[in-house]
């Protein structure tokens, strides 16, 4: 018996013992279905291969313009060393130029509700698309997506630090709907090490976790007026696609073979297990930042570890801590020892650089840069400031009163200052606002970027991205910033946002009044100290860049090293060039956003230049 078998046996035995002992221990989850992938062959009592390109079932290229042919060959799926490896290869079978594998548990592992966990290491590269997902075992409500789809983990190989959790539902294509949220690691990527991916599925809500951190929650209210189809049995799928509409096709930078490695899948009967929450990104020198553990069993022993450079203000041994951050990030870790065993939770936190105001959109004292086009409630421009303080001493401000008969009340503006919406997604830019309201502390405000032409269709079509903040004061001005929430739709290009939506106290039937002022775009105040603007003749193109950044230095000025840094100053790519004056640097694995390239010449001179990475 190997180490993983022993640990699993301990989990199962502990669950059995706890289940027979006390009411406290009955809160421990029981394992109801699993595969540890410990053998040398796929367990066909739990899994079935899907072969081909989908054309035999009327779903050519699997409905996504994928390029691979799925096989049952050990070249594409093998078990060794306690893990299952799905391998994508560049080889021709039938009329397809790539091979891979896809398996499903239909009629062999079908569940309705519970907690699903998988430990996985992901592949990388342009055009690489692994997924761990669920489909209904019976199409009770009709064909896809009327009966639903649950994507526990999807990932695009050219964005190696970001995963996506999504629900598909609604009407048949092209009137289908989805709701999604992404999570981006503050450091590292998903292909260098294993991570724990989990989903908790209950009657009215589905939650996504990464390494014990809750990053997304979707409920019936997120369906709008569509059916919630997630009340039937679903089965599991693992696959590694090559190409497709979403990831795009492989290019010269894509390396084959690529391996999607799965350590185990485990299904438990109980949801509501312990998890970590708190911000994964914080402003520089942020104060009183809280990280908390939820659903901790009574009697548990909790130990926290925080990065150097942070001030641990209080909370050691409790289920929440209070930190003051410095100028650098790091990992917040919590260990829980309880009657159900030991659990470790880790969250890498990024400290954002200082932001400064770059564009004033509306302050009611000068000409506005946005234009109101619609509102569900009542908007009044330039009312007297009802309660000046040190945050807002302006004489005039805006006043908006929600329509209490509208659950999703909206305030709509045209906007032309969002030139590249990816800068807001990545945090390089952020929108700030002054708010005064009688609404309770903790009231949610949502800001939504849209393309007005596309957004005439039902949500989420045309909605590029959403940002959120919550009030912390009542009847007093406060300065709030909107943090990235999710990408409802991938159909809006970063440069096509022309509409701004505010949802005050969304998903409520309330008539609160919100005074607002000083709506501004802030940008990162980043000027690398090593920038050398005196060096001429250096050509870096294209900008914005997509898959490759080209660097050409003038004759007689060869360079031997290229370094790419994100806007926080973190090195994300380092490349030796061997003393050349021309080089094409692959950037397909970088997230969209602002970067700086540092070029080190052979004579020791260092030059840096900014560039934007975006998807073509």
Q: List, by residue number, the catalytic residues.
A: 149, 154
Report the alpha-carbon distance of residue 573 to residue 590 in Å, rounded. 9
Report the alpha-carbon distance of residue 65 to residue 250 in Å, rounded. 13
Which string of b and e fits 12-48 if b means at least 16 CB within 10 Å?
A: eeebeebeeeeeebebbbbbebbbbbbeeebeeeebb
276, 289, 218: which is closest to 472 by C-alpha? 289
Q: Are 379 and 474 in contact (CB under 8 A)?
A: no
User: Residue for token digits 């430990």?
Assistant: 119
Which stretches of 243-325 are assigned E, i.e. beta strand?
A: 258-268, 275-277, 281-283, 289-294, 301-305, 311-314, 320-324
Local structure of residue 42 (DSSP, 8 states): -
Q: Which tokens sit at 131? A: 């997924």
User: Residue for token digits 């009411």?
Assistant: 23
Report the alpha-carbon distance of residue 37 to residue 40 in Å, rounded. 8
Report the alpha-carbon distance of residue 412 to residue 557 in Å, rounded. 53
Q: Which tokens sit at 129? A: 């698309």
Report the alpha-carbon distance of residue 153 to residue 146 in Å, rounded. 20
Distances 409 to 315, 453, 456, 498, 513 between C-alpha atoms, Å: 39, 20, 16, 20, 12
Q: Are 89 and 256 in contact (CB under 8 A)?
A: yes
Report the alpha-carbon distance of residue 77 to residue 74 in Å, rounded. 5
524, 494, 497, 493: which is closest to 596 by C-alpha? 524
Q: Which tokens sit at 188? A: 């590292």
H-run or E-run covering 424: helix 422-425
Q: Are 576 and 583 in contact (CB under 8 A)?
A: no
- Which residues touch 114 (CB under 8 Å, ≥6 apart)? 32, 200, 201, 267, 268, 269, 270, 271
What CA dihedral angle connects 317, 321, 326 and 327, to 10 degrees? 110
Which stretches of 506-545 are assigned E, i.e. beta strand?
A: 513-524, 539-541
523, 521, 525, 524: which is closest to 362 by C-alpha? 521
Phi, then psi, of 549 in degrees rounded to 5: -110, 125
Report the alpha-carbon distance of residue 66 to residue 55 in Å, rounded. 12
370, 424, 300: which is closest to 27 by C-alpha? 300
In sequence order, what are the beta bridge partners of 182? 164
Report the alpha-carbon distance of residue 171 to residue 226 in Å, rounded. 8
Phi, then psi, of 14 in degrees rounded to 5: -60, -40
Cis? peptide before 174, omega within 30° of 0: yes
- 226: Cα separation from own chain's centroid: 24
Cis? peptide before 267, omega within 30° of 0: no
Report the alpha-carbon distance of residue 308 to residue 47 in Å, rounded. 46
């Amino acid at each position: 018996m190997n180490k993983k078998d022993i640990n699993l046996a301990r989990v199962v035995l502990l669950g059995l013992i706890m289940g027979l002992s006390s009411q406290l221990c009955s809160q421990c989850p029981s394992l109801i279905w699993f595969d540890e992938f410990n053998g040398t062959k796929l367990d066909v009592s739990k899994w079935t291969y899907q072969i081909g390109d989908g054309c035999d079932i009327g779903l050519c290229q699997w409905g996504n313009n994928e390029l691979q042919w799925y096989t049952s060959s050990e070249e594409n799926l093998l078990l060794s060393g306690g893990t299952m490896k799905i391998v994508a290869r560049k080889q021709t079978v039938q009329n397809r130029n790539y091979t891979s594998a896809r398996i499903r548990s239909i009629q062999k592992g079908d569940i309705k509700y519970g907690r699903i966990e998988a430990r996985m290491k992901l592949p990388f590269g342009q055009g690489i698309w692994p997924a761990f997902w669920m489909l209904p075992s019976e199409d009770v409500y009709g064909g896809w997506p009327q009966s639903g789809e649950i994507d526990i983990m999807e990932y695009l190989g050219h964005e190696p630090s970001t995963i996506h959790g999504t629900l598909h539902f609604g009407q048949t294509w092209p009137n289908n709907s989805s709701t999604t949220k992404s999570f981006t690691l503050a450091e590292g990527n998903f292909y260098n090490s294993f991570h724990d991916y989990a989903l908790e599925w209950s009657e009215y809500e589905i939650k996504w976790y990464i390494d014990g951190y809750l990053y997304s929650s979707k409920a019936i209210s997120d369906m709008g007026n569509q059916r919630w189809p997630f009340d039937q049995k679903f089965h599991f799928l693992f696959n590694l696609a090559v190409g497709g509409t979403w990831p795009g096709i492989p290019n010269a930078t894509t390396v084959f073979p690529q391996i999607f490695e799965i350590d185990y899948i485990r299904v438990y009967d109980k949801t509501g297990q312990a998890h970590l929450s708190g911000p994964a990104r914080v402003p520089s020198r942020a104060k009183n930042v809280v990280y908390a553990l939820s659903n901790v069993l009574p009697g548990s022993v909790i130990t926290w570890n925080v990065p150097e450079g942070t001030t641990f203000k209080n909370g050691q041994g409790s289920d929440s801590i209070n930190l003051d951050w410095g100028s650098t990030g790091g990992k917040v870790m919590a260990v829980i020892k309880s009657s159900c065993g030991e659990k470790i939770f880790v969250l890498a936190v990024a400290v954002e650089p200082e932001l400064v105001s770059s564009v004033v959109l509306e302050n009611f004292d000068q000409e506005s840069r946005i234009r109101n086009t619609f509102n569900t409630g009542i908007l009044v421009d330039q009312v007297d400031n009802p309660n000046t303080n040190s945050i807002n001493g302006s004489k005039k401000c805006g006043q908006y009163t929600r329509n209490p008969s509208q659950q999703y009340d909206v305030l709509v503006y045209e906007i032309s200052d969002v030139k590249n919406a990816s800068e807001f997604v990545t945090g390089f830019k952020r929108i700030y606002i002054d708010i005064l309201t009688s609404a309770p502390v903790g009231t949610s405000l949502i800001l939504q970027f849209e393309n007005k032409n596309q957004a005439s269709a039902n949500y989420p079509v045309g909605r590029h991205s959403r940002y959120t903040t919550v009030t912390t004061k009542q009847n007093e001005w406060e300065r709030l910033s909107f943090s990235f929430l999710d990408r409802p739709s991938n159909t809006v290009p970063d440069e096509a946002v022309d509409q701004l939506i505010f949802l005050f106290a969304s998903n409520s039937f309330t008539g609160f009044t919100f005074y607002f002022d000083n709506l501004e775009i802030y940008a990162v105040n980043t000027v690398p100290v090593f920038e050398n603007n005196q060096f001429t003749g250096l050509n870096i193109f294209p900008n914005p860049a997509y898959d490759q950044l080209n660097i050409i230095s003038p004759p007689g000025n060869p360079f031997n090293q290229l370094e790419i840094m994100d806007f926080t100053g973190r090195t994300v790519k380092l490349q030796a060039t061997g003393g050349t004056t021309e080089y094409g640097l692959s950037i397909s694995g970088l997230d969209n956003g602002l970067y700086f390239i540092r070029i080190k010449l052979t004579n020791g001179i260092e030059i840096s230049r900014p560039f934007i990475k975006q998807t073509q």
